[in-house]
Amino acid sequence: MSSNGEIIRVRRYFEMNRRDMLRGAAAVGAAGMLGLGGMGKARAATDINFVGWEGYDSFLVGGGFDEAKGYTFQKTLISSTDEIITKLRLDSSAVDVCTPYFVNDDFLAEEGLLAPLDLAQIPNFEKIHPTIKQYAESNMSQDGTWYACPFTYGSLCMVYDSKEIPAPTSWADLMKPEYKGKAAITADYQGNIFAMARVLGIANPHRMTRDELAKTTELMIDLKKNHLKAIAPSYGDLINMYVNKEIVISQGWEPLSAWIGDGETVKIAYPKEGSFGFIEGYGIGKGSSKSADAYALIDNALSLQGQLAGADLNSMPVVTAEAMEKAGPASKAIYDYNDLEGYFNGKTLIMQMYPLDEEGDLAIWDDYQEAWEKVLKA
């Protein structure tokens, strides 16, 4: 009854007597014990916050390393390399292992977002092939201190349907009239700008003048408006386009041909202007409280089991000399481990970070991103 004498309807969802209460207490106790048991298990496992491309964690956990050591991966999978910068900026200490884009490593180190690596805690670092180290060093290390550890490499090369067309020899082949509406690129702006800049004869696409960048942008707009079927948001979508016979030529990545499968005839080609080469590395977020675990995982990624597991699962290449020797025939068919120098200094080109600050007439990083937006808007 309310204070003013009106009857208030109280809805009672349950009636409780002493027996019910005791029964309930017993049930809560049992649930609590079960819960505590579960918590005990959870405490034994170590959560590792991983930020990177899907599949890039496979090297870290190769040979069941995560299960053996009790690591549970909390993965934040990215759709563009810039997302890692955003995540690191939000809280670098919350990122235990990440796969930053290798040209960004210097910038991330300067910004205090990546921890300097203690190579003593990565004994397998010594096993990395000297050529890989040589080409990774300029981007991944500063004054002799490494901020990322190479674990695989590759390039944004050309991909084509060998049943439909002959092997392309130039990025300009994307603009051949006969492939109009049958060509595609991915949304990787660095690779796209690189390719079109090289078509224009620009030696170093990462150090273009604003005028050169404007010309490159015009060429990309022409490519987009007059030749492309689509800009694929992912390699999965690109594969679908090949499988559905919607495209015959595209920009792509070496593992693509293996991912499509044996029944398909999609192959890779290296254009005469060179492909956009990259070396992928693992970094540790500055301030991560689990850096010891991160080191253990990175060391495992460079062990024979880690390297081969990553290569088998993703069709990506390995970086240690021993893994190159032991790699399976499928891996060796895609990657010529005997001519790494030719790969990094012929088939592909390894780039440095774009200028960050104004430097004469040189375009800066934001100009490149703005150029890509212009292409999308056109």
Partner 1 sequence: MGLTPAFAVFGVFFALPMAYLLVVTFWRIRRYRLTPDFTFANYQNVYGDYLHALVFTIVIAFVIACITTLLAFAIAYLIRFRSGLFGQVILLSALATLFGGYLVKIYAWKAMLGAQGSVNLLLITLGLIDQPIEWLLYSPTAVILTLVHFMLPFALLPILAGLRGISEAPLEAARDLGAGPWRITKDIVLPQCRTSLFAAFTLSFLIPAGDYVTPRLVGGTETFMVGNFIENLFIGRMNAPMGAALAFSTLLACALVLLFVNWLLKRVFTPKWGH
Q: Judged by CB, which is closer to partner 1: 128, or 185?
A: 185
| Cα angle 203-138-131, degrees, rounded to a multiple of 5 | 90
Closest residue by Cα to residue 48 from 360, 292, 356: 292
Interacting span for partner 1 (CB under 8 A) from 268-276, 284-292, 326-334, 363-371: 363-371
CA distances from 282 to 67, 81, 87, 193 (A): 20, 13, 15, 25
Q: Does 121 help bind partner 1 (rule: CB under 8 A)?
A: no
Q: Does 86 help bind partner 1 (rule: CB under 8 A)?
A: yes
Q: Judged by CB, which is closer to partner 1: 245, or 272?
A: 245
Q: Smallest distance, Å, CB 80 to partner 1?
A: 6
Could you tell me how many residues of this chain bind partner 1 (CB under 8 A)?
30
Q: Which residues are within 8 A (CB) of 272 and not within 5 positions of it... i.e. 6 or more apart?
A: 169, 170
Q: Does 325 help bind partner 1 (rule: CB under 8 A)?
A: no
Check: CB of residue 368 under 8 Å from CB of residue 354.
yes
Check: CB of residue 129 under 8 Å from CB of residue 324.
yes
Tell me the two tokens of residue 239: 């594969």
- Scanning residues 89 to 118, which ones bind partner 1 (CB under 8 A)? 89
Closest residue by Cα to residue 192 from 237, 153, 232, 156: 156
Query: What is the C-alpha to C-alpha distance for residues 105 and 355, in angstroms, rounded to an integer?
Result: 13
- Scanning residues 163 to 202, which ones bind partner 1 (CB under 8 A)? 181, 187, 189
Query: What is the C-alpha to C-alpha distance for residues 192 and 278, in angstroms, rounded to an integer?
Result: 14
Q: Does 237 help bind partner 1 (rule: CB under 8 A)?
A: yes
Interacting span for partner 1 (CB under 8 A) from 38-46, 75-83, 128-136, 258-266: 75-83
Q: Smallest distance, Å, CB 180 to partner 1?
A: 11
**Which residues contact partner 1 by CB under 8 A?**
80, 82-83, 85-86, 89, 181, 187, 189, 224-225, 228-231, 233, 237, 240, 244-246, 356-357, 365-366, 369-370, 373, 376-377
